[in-house]
Structure 1
Amino acid sequence: MKTTHDSIDEIHAQIDEETPDDIEISSVQFEGPDLVIYSPDVETFAERDRLVPKLASTFKKRITVRPTADALVPERKAEGTIRDTIPDDAGVQSLDFDSSTGEVLVEAEKPGMVIGRHGETLEEIRAAVGWTPEVVRTPPIESSTVSNVRNFLKQERDERRDILEDVGRQIHRPTTADNQWVRITTLGCCREVGRAAFLLSTPETRVLIDCGDKPGAEGEVPYLQAPEALAAGPDSIDAVVLTHAHLDHSALIPILFKYGYDGPIYATEPTRDLMGLLQLDYLDVASKEGRTPPYDSSMVRKALKHTIPVEYGNVTDIAPDVKLTMHNAGHILGSAVSHFHVGEGFYNVAFSGDIHYRDTRLLDGAVNDFPRVETLVLESTYGGRNDYQTDQEDSERKLETVINEAHEKGGKILIPAFAVGRSQELMLVLEEAMREDRIPTMPVYLDGMIREATAIHAAYPDHLRERLRQRILYEDDNPFLADQFRPVDGGDEMRRDVVDDEPSIVLTTSGMITGGPIMSWLRLLGGDPESTLVFVGYQAEGTLGRQIQQGRDEISLNDTAGRGANRVALNMDVQTVDGFSGHADRQGLENFVRTMNPRPETVLCVHGDESSTDHLSSALYEEFGMRTVAPKNLETFRLD
């Protein structure tokens, strides 16, 4: 039987044949999804017009060309040359050399000046020192998460290299199956919101898509011990694909490594960083509430180490018979509709994750332009018959009215919101409304992870809407740095000071009131009839947020030391302002399917309560005549 080693030898021989005689090929190997060619003649390689694209087309793989060690100028001398080559105005912060790959990571305030017109500066650097420059932007707002992740991955680069080589061998192993089929098994997230987890199976491959918890339902986790999942052994899963970082999709990914999984996680780069932030906070909240979390921080670090970033639109091999392409989902920073191409044109499946179909202030709307999709797994959070969101402008006007009325009473405005996505959207709305005097200028306190999540947004401006990106990068007008935004970094003592001070707005986690700082704010403000609690996002069944939204006027809260519960009367005004959800409403979901060309043959309606999935499934069937299903958990669908 042919092995991966045999394949590499054959590819090496074929590359030798197809490259000019004056280019030496020292070695060829797989690193993750990439085919890496090592050569002392990298510059000559680059000068030969379309040689690399030609090889990529021949082998149908992403190709990276790296220099051999003897082609590299010594680091100290190379650093001086690189700094002399890059304009001073680029604001270079650091250079980090990786001799194992021949790459130098350049962190700069203005990456465009490092790159140069049409990449000219990068080419000049490569020609002068042999090292291949990779450029990253210095975050305009200091982010401990981005910094920690980058430093951690630098420290672990040798093990990362080993991981990528192992992954590469698995991806490019010879296929053995004689027949073809595709199955989807639902391990969670069906007729419910939360614990998203699906298994995509072929004769060769098993891919787990998402692995989250269920808000407000401790202990309800995905059915990972099902025969097709971890019960078949952790090695039976070839890859994990994470659509986005929200905990109902990502919280339990580290537990896979606790069970013995040792493979790759594919996600966008912002999702990787946000995943680490939210998972560590998940552990912290569990500890403060006296609960035993299902894993520890070492498993979070292991998950980060195994994450392979994927850029929107790039086709990536993740198994011998499966290619992954991620597209913007419009839900939160880095969220992705994940498209799987199985076999050589055999079958195509897309998992929507969570989507927002229309543009928002923060993000462009979800992409639904695929060459082919036979089956679509579609979220249905707002799939109910009457689940229509208010127009964004109307929503903003209503929020402004609520804030003005609360301010006139002298009260506080308390807004529980997801740290990632909704909080940043609201910050943009509040900043503009104050700048244009539609609401009074007042402090806006950011509690929980909101400030850090905002810093991560600023670190990835290329994922934001063009106008916002323009303001941050080129106009020196970062709305997230407005003077009224103030972090709550003094715990309950600072919260009490805020309550006793002037009227203000408080943005705090968690968005569904399932724990975190919102509990302290309810303890401090819940009995104040002059203050207002404003819901701006989805409140899942079983969460305290849903209960308060439906009229509950007394709640039980643990004291600050976690010693026991006390009752708090809710005398606050409670308002719901629709239109700020990161999810598409019923019309948006229907439009997402309507505008697909070609449309899918089958749609599985998931990630919604039972009535929402049933209503959306029936509506899509009636309008488009396609096969639609509202599956239950632990069902398996053969798709071919």
Structure 2
Amino acid sequence: MTRIELSFLGGSREVGRSCISIKKKDKLILLDAGISLGRVKGEEYPLEPSNPPNAVFVTHAHLDHSGYLPAIISKYGCPEFSTSPTQDLAELLHTDFLKLQKDWNIEPPYTSEEVMAVRSHAEDINYMVEITIRGGIKAMLLPSGHILGAAMIRLEVDNHIILYTGDLSTRNTRTQDMAETSVGKVDTLIIESTYAAQNDRHPSFQKVERSLIDSINKALDRGGRVLVPVFAVGRAQEVMLSLEAYIRSGALKQVPIYIDGMIKKVNEVYRLYWSYLRPTIRRQIRYTRQSPLESDIFVEVNQKRSVNIDEPCIIVSTSGMLEGGPVIGYIKKIAGDPKSLICLTGYQVPGTRGRRLQDGEREIKIAPKEESIKVNSEVKSFEFSAHADQSGLFRFISKIKELERVYCVHGEEWKTVEFAERIEKLKKVDSYSPINGETYLI
């Protein structure tokens, strides 16, 4: 049997720039092509593959998995395989990324023309449909439950089965069903480790939502304003649906809820691909032709609409890690107010402003002039996570039969190392925490 080379080009012992290559003789496939949001100089983009790729598969649209795709396509001209929602959402995020690069005075890795050119190389794949690509490699996408259109990638190379989870959710959310667990025989598993530490245990979504609503009500009662930085894709929609439900029930105080950033455009994609959503939302959109994300309780911010945030209100705005976008303007306005509240709702990559706030820093610098902002407002974190915690990851692994080896990626270094050791101990399976640049023969 031909030896398969498995190379880790990014996303190993870190969260960001996910990229893995699978090589068989002269055929090479890339799994994801992400960027790092931590902005460590020299570590923004994946390492170069050993051969020009014959294809690139993208698990989902988030920039840490898709953000380098236009550069790969521009350089190599290879086809890209992903679900239709991933392609549309990624294009929005790539365009927004270029704007952020301009704000940071950083030379971007590609142009807007190269972003648009990706479409001519994109191949739509539906879930659970097997395709065969050059070199006789069979591929299938399976639902990963993370965000709209997110997928795991299952490859069959010379009868050897490789499963790459991408980002994995093992519980239902308001918009997504949990990941598919009937994945069949797998020889080599490449699994995310974002929340893989022993003490990583997600509370139930109901508990998280109640905590969020209680905290928001307290801030509003004391005359404060509430800022909810969100990822435009995934987290924004979950937060909006939570707010909508609690407003309707009367449990959340009724105040203006402003929606800013590219959330509106993303919501339009969610409506377009309603068949990828959970059954309750599918039915609502299918039969009423109305999306709950377009509820009249939300006030969409645009150039023609003035926003009064001098009174108690809720602002849902990008970006989720406070690295750019309209959220920066809101931070400047409310950070000094001790009555106000900043709600962090997603994973904060080390090095980002969001992570520094989460870790207790109360003075942040804002580009481009590195203006220093003192944060007196309350800062709280709420685990609206669309990643599996350690127990969820182990439940997923336990469903796989005949597993030979596991590679733990997409996690902070100590977590991937600890997770690999724990898998090997509990599951008696060879497990590794690879380093970027390493190649394994399987």
1:576 aligned partner: 381
CA separation of 1:507/1:416 partners in 2, compared to 1, >3 Å: closer, same or farther? Answer: same
Q: 1:204 deviation in Å?
A: 4.6
2:321 aligned partner: 512
Would you say the 8 A contact 2:18–2:46 is kept in 1? no
CA separation of 1:569/1:428 partners in 2, compared to 1, >3 Å: closer, same or farther? Answer: same
Would you say the 8 A contact 2:73–2:118 is kept in 1? yes
1:636 aligned partner: 439
Would you say the 8 A contact 1:204–1:321 is kept in 2? no
CA separation of 1:296/1:275 partners in 2, compared to 1, >3 Å: closer, same or farther? Answer: same
Tell me, what secondary structure is at the counterpart of 1:603? strand
> Letter of the aligned partner of 2:21 in structure 1?
L
- 1:318 and 1:242 mapped to 2: Cα distance? 15
> Which structure has the greater CA radius of gyration?
1
Would you say the 8 A contact 2:34–2:46 is kept in 1? no
Equivalences for residues 381-530 of structure 1 within 5 A: 381-490=194-303, 494=306, 497-500=307-310, 502-530=311-339
Would you say the 8 A contact 2:9–2:48 is kept in 1? no
2:100 aligned partner: 285
Would you say the 8 A contact 2:17–2:46 is kept in 1? no
Tell me, what secondary structure is at the counterpart of 2:284? helix
> Letter of the aligned partner of 1:637 in structure 2?
Y
2:82 aligned partner: 267
Q: 1:341 deviation in Å?
A: 1.0
Looking at secondary structure, tell me which structure has more helix per residue.
1
The Cα offsets for residues 547-604 of structure 1, whole Å up to 9 and x where unpaired, read as 111111111223xxx4x232211011111112x11111111111111123x1521110
Question: Is residue 544 of structure 1 aligned with residue 353 of structure 2?
Answer: yes
Q: 1:381 deviation in Å?
A: 0.4
- 1:200 and 1:423 mapped to 2: Cα distance? 34
1:206 aligned partner: 28
- 2:25 and 2:371 mapped to 1: Cα distance? 55
2:7 aligned partner: 185
CA separation of 1:214/1:619 partners in 2, compared to 1, >3 Å: closer, same or farther? Answer: same
> Letter of the aligned partner of 1:254 in structure 2?
P
> Where does structure 1 differ by over 4 angstroms across 4 or more consecutive aligned residues?
none
- 2:295 and 2:130 mapped to 1: Cα distance? 39
1:221 aligned partner: 44
Question: Is residue 590 of structure 1 aligned with residue 394 of structure 2?
Answer: yes
- 2:246 and 2:432 mapped to 1: Cα distance? 43
1:251 aligned partner: 67
> Letter of the aligned partner of 1:377 in structure 2?
I
- 1:386 and 1:271 mapped to 2: Cα distance? 32
Q: 1:221 deviation in Å?
A: 3.3
The Cα offsets for residues 354-397 of structure 1, whole Å up to 9 and x where unpaired, read as 01111111100011212321001000000112111111111111
Tell me, what secondary structure is at the counterpart of 1:292? coil
> Letter of the aligned partner of 1:269 in structure 2?
S
Q: 1:225 deviation in Å?
A: 2.9
Would you say the 8 A contact 2:35–2:46 is kept in 1? no
Question: Is residue 195 of structure 1 aligned with residue 6 of structure 2?
Answer: no
> Letter of the aligned partner of 2:175 in structure 1?
L
Alignment RMSD: 1.5
Would you say the 8 A contact 2:15–2:194 is kept in 1? yes
- 1:221 and 1:285 mapped to 2: Cα distance? 14
- 1:595 and 1:504 mapped to 2: Cα distance? 45
1:553 aligned partner: 362
Would you say the 8 A contact 2:47–2:437 is kept in 1? no
Would you say the 8 A contact 1:185–1:199 is kept in 2? yes
Equivalences for residues 350-369 of structure 1 within 5 A: 350-369=163-182
Tell me, what secondary structure is at the counterpart of 1:385? coil
> Letter of the aligned partner of 1:522 in structure 2?
I
Would you say the 8 A contact 1:316–1:325 is kept in 2? yes
- 2:169 and 2:46 mapped to 1: Cα distance? 27
Would you say the 8 A contact 2:10–2:47 is kept in 1? no
- 2:70 and 2:288 mapped to 1: Cα distance? 40
1:74 aligned partner: none
From 627, 632, 639, the counterpart of 2:430: 627
Q: 1:442 deviation in Å?
A: 2.1
> Letter of the aligned partner of 2:39 in structure 1?
A
Q: 1:256 deviation in Å?
A: 1.6
Tell me, what secondary structure is at the counterpart of 1:499? coil
The Cα offsets for residues 515-562 of structure 1, whole Å up to 9 and x where unpaired, read as 22221111111101111001111111111111111111111223xxx4
> Letter of the aligned partner of 1:347 in structure 2?
H
From 331, 344, 350, the counterpart of 2:146: 331
- 1:202 and 1:473 mapped to 2: Cα distance? 45
The Cα offsets for residues 311-363 of structure 1, whole Å up to 9 and x where unpaired, read as 000001122321110011111100000000113xx201011000111111110
- 2:196 and 2:134 mapped to 1: Cα distance? 33
| Structure of greater relative contact order (alpha carbons < 8 Å, 6+ residues apart) | 2
Tell me, what secondary structure is at the counterpart of 1:632? coil
- 1:258 and 1:329 mapped to 2: Cα distance? 28
2:53 aligned partner: 237
1:377 aligned partner: 190
> Letter of the aligned partner of 1:184 in structure 2?
L
CA separation of 1:521/1:587 partners in 2, compared to 1, >3 Å: closer, same or farther? Answer: same
The Cα offsets for residues 419-475 of structure 1, whole Å up to 9 and x where unpaired, read as 000110111111110000111122221111111111111110110001111111114
- 2:47 and 2:414 mapped to 1: Cα distance? 25
- 2:210 and 2:134 mapped to 1: Cα distance? 49
The Cα offsets for residues 238-280 of structure 1, whole Å up to 9 and x where unpaired, read as 1000010100111111112343x11100000000000100001
Q: 1:209 deviation in Å?
A: 0.8
Would you say the 8 A contact 1:223–1:634 is kept in 2? no
> Which sections of structure 2, spanning at least 5 residues, go unmatched?
none
Would you say the 8 A contact 1:197–1:222 is kept in 2? no
Would you say the 8 A contact 1:337–1:350 is kept in 2? yes
From 599, 608, 618, the counterpart of 2:421: 618
- 2:312 and 2:296 mapped to 1: Cα distance? 16
Tell me, what secondary structure is at the counterpart of 2:85? helix
> Letter of the aligned partner of 2:123 in structure 1?
I
- 1:600 and 1:475 mapped to 2: Cα distance? 46
The Cα offsets for residues 89-117 of structure 1, whole Å up to 9 and x where unpaired, read as xxxxxxxxxxxxxxxxxxxxxxxxxxxxx
- 1:257 and 1:189 mapped to 2: Cα distance? 20
2:115 aligned partner: 300
Would you say the 8 A contact 2:33–2:46 is kept in 1? no
Tell me, what secondary structure is at the counterpart of 1:187? strand
Would you say the 8 A contact 1:330–1:363 is kept in 2? yes
- 2:184 and 2:82 mapped to 1: Cα distance? 21
1:566 aligned partner: 371
The Cα offsets for residues 32-77 of structure 1, whole Å up to 9 and x where unpaired, read as xxxxxxxxxxxxxxxxxxxxxxxxxxxxxxxxxxxxxxxxxxxxxx
Instruction: Give the percent of matched residue pairs that are identical in Structure 1 and Structure 2.
Output: 35
Aligned length: 441
Would you say the 8 A contact 1:216–1:514 is kept in 2? no
